[in-house]
Structures are given as C-alpha cells and as structure tokens.
Structure 1
Amino acid sequence: MKKPTPALSDAYALSTSEDSRRLYADWAATYDQDFAAGQDYLLPALTAKAFAAAGGEGPVLDVGAGTGLCGQALMALGVGPIDATDISAAMLAEALRKDAYRDVIEADLLQGIPVPRGSYRGVVSSGTFTHGHLGPEGLPALLRVAAPGAWFALSVNARFYEKAGFAGALDRLLRGQWIRSLTLPEVRIYGPRATGPHKDDTALVALFQKV
C-alpha cells in the first residue's frame, strides 16, 4: 500500500529528531509541489526579503533550510554566498538541486552546528521555529556561528512565539547584550490560494544583530 503524502499536521505533531528525519525523508521529493506551491507558501521569500532589507549580507547560514526555498529567494536578491543546514539529508539533497548553496551541512541544531565559531555574517531561518520543531533552545547554537554584527532573520510561527517562550528568551539576550536592534514584523505564512485550518496563520520575523 502506498504511503499517504505527509501534511502540515504531521509536521506540527513531531516530537523527536528521529521523527523529523523520517517525516522529511518521505516528504522531500514532493514538498515543493505538494506543499509549497499547493499552499502558496510565502514565508521563505518574505524571510529572505526582511533579511536583505535590514542590510543582511553573506556569508549566510540558512538554518532548517529544507528544500532550499529561502536560499533560492536570497540568491534572487543578490545575497550570498549561502550555506544550508538541516536535520534531513533528503531535504538537503533537494536543496542542492537549486544551485543556491555553497555547501550543505546535515546537523541537529540542538547538538550544535559543526562549523567554526563566527563563520557567518548572516543567519536566516524560515519555517523551523514552529509547532513540533524547534523553540528558543536553538538560539545559542546560532549565535555561536555568527560573527559580531551579523544580522539574523528568524521566522517564528506567531501562535508558537509566546507558547514556546521566545519573548522571554529574546529579552534575556537583549538585556545580556548578546543582541541588539530587535524588531518583530508580522507576515503571512501563506498566500490567498492556501486552504485548511492554518491558511490564515502568520509568523513574526525576529530581526536582530549579534553584538
């Protein structure tokens, strides 16, 4: 019997790293067409646009890069070079087909990213900080790989933002003078062709600089 195509509800129900690897291995080949195109997925392009508008520059690390939609959008805006990291080797294989990335790094963010400290002048993430995925516990690993002055553009599902403790975590980073210039523009995740219970969901794009 053919496996059912994964859906957003399956992604939001994830609870372990191994669950994520299994789901995205099954979804990688059809993700762009069935989900991104089918649900009019705007968030990767809007995250890239926010990063570029803030003055973000390369080299950039695209965190939770998936099939490379945000990297592709950054490249179209003239931002680069870009590296991708994701927990799913299958999703990264799809990302490589887009020719947007200098390198890809398979990594579990909670275990750290195996690159030297301060490697990047920018960090972006679209769709990774959300239900069933990562919360603010992933921020220290991102700060470690960013150089002083690096711009961040991290999309966070708006319903997940308070629930997961992002407000408190970012406030602690501000007060500890780890980051500065925090703004939180709100954007739509999906366009008008989207259907289903999440079609009107929004995200906050956490824009800030590492001190």
Structure 2
Amino acid sequence: MSEGLDSAYSIATPADCLRVYRAWAESYDGGFAAGMDYLLPAHVARAFLAAGGAGPVLDIGAGTGLLAERLRGAGFSAPIDGVDLSPEMLERARVKGIYRSLVQADVMQPLPLAGGYGGIVSSGTFTHGHVGPSALPHVLAQARRGAQVALSINAGVFAAMGFDAALAALPITGLQLIEVEIYGQGAALMDPAHASDRALIALFRKG
C-alpha cells in the first residue's frame, strides 16, 4: 500500500487526520492522485451533473479541490464552497482559484455555514478511518429542500459502518446507489492491494 493511503486508512481521531494530511498535502495531487489514477472525483462530478445538480454547491471534505476541478472541467460555473478539517489541504485548494470560499471545520459536528446550498458533493471523505454516517445530518442541514446530493461512500464500510441505515433514516427522496471504481489502471503498480477498491455514490435529493 502507498504510505499515504496506509496512514489515511488508520486515522482514528481528528488529531490523526490533521497530522496525516499535514504531511500529505504537498504531494497529494502529484503523488497519490496521479499515481493511483484516482477516478473517484470524476465519477462523483459526472453523477452530480447527470442528475441535474445545481449550485451553489458545498464540497464536503474538499481536500485539495480535485472534485471541484472536475466540476469546473465539465463546464459547471456556479459557486462552489468547500469544507475540510485540514488547513494544509485547503491551502492547496485555495491556490487553484476554483472555490468561492473555503472553511476549516469538522464535518462530524454542526457546520459553521449559512446553508441553503442547491447541491452537496463529496469524494473520498466517507471511507476507512475517516467520516462516519453520524455526519450525514450535519451535511444535509446545509442543503435547501430539493437540493441534489452526490456523496461517495467506500463500499468496504457502507454496511459495516451503518451508512445504509443512516441513509434510510434521512429525509431524502430518489436514493440511487451507483457502484464505481475508485482507481484506474495505474493503481495496480502503486498499490495492488487496493487497486480494485470500489465505492458507492449515494445520489439523492433533500426531501
């Protein structure tokens, strides 16, 4: 396994998360994302846009801005705000000039944002050692009624961490679960143990 992914999957506390991503931020795009042929941000962007997603958009666990880049690359021009726990990852996103605003916050807690978003997206945040299903009500609270939501959830934790039950309890409509590959062919060389990992994109609207 790549050293960064190994550390990320072993995160147990917010302090762990801050430490791991502080060390990983500078090499995340050119090392992990490029080396692993990281497809997940593009999958989430396509699913959101195909479902008619509109802005303004809140990017949960924005990281270095890979998902927002994919949205912009597809011609999405509405405002995008981002939230992430790591200030170092957010700084990498900030210099790309693709976000309206970026906020450092823990999505496991109520978010210090005004809400009213027409779209919520997230790629790679709901996974091993990261954010669990108890964050979903805080995320949904930021969306206006009818907002389109597209969240990736690692298939390996979907049932084990209770995302299935948590989604069933939310005031949402039209839930679809779209299974996708997280990585492309490049991952077989860099991290063969996880090259075939899958995710589910939970696509729904706020009721």
Normalised-by-shorter TM-score class? over 0.9
Aligned position for 1:208: 204
Amino acid of the structure 2 residue aligned with 1:112: P
Q: Aligned AA for 1:142?
A: V
5+ unaligned residues in a row in structure 2: which ranges?
none
Q: Which amino acid aligns with 2:111?
A: I
Aligned-partner Cα distance in 2 for 1:172–1:110: 17
**2:59 alignment counterpart:** 62
Select 2:119's aligned residue among 107, 119, 122.
Answer: 122
| 1:7 paired residue number | 4
Amino acid at match of 2:70: A
Alpha carbon RMSD of aligned pairs, Å? 1.1
The answer for the alignment partner of 2:128 in structure 1 is: 131
Tell me, yes or no, if the aligned pair for 1:6 and 1:26 is still in contact at 8 Å. Answer: no
CA shift for structure 1 position 25: 0.7
Matched, 1:49 2:41: no
* TM-score, L = length of structure 2: 0.95
User: Which residue in 2 is equivalent to 1:37?
Assistant: 34
How many residues of Structure 1 are paired with residues of Structure 2 in the alignment? 202
Q: TM-score, normalised by structure 1?
A: 0.93
Check whether the contact 1:48–1:70 (CA below 8 A) recurs between aligned residues. Answer: yes
Using the TM superposition, give the Cα deviation of residue 119 of structure 1 relative to its aligned residue in structure 2, in angstroms.
2.2
8 A contact 1:119–1:146 mirrored in 2: yes
Q: Deviations over 1:124-160 (max 9, x none)?
A: 0000000000111010111111000001000000011
State the match for 2:165 in structure 1: 168
Structural mapping, 1:8-23, within 5 Å:
8-23=5-20
CA distance in 2, matches of 1:164, 1:56: 27
Aligned counterparts of 1:63 and 1:98: Cα–Cα separation in 2: 17
Which one of the candidate residues 159, 162, 184 is aligned to 1:191?
184
Instruction: Provide the secondary structure at the position in 2 that maps to 1:10.
Output: helix
Q: Which amino acid aligns with 1:210?
A: K
Query: Do the aligned partners of 2:35 and 2:187 also contact (CA within 8 Å) in 1?
Result: yes
- Structure 2 CA distance, aligned partners of 1:55 and 1:129? 23
* SS of 1:159 mapped into structure 2: coil
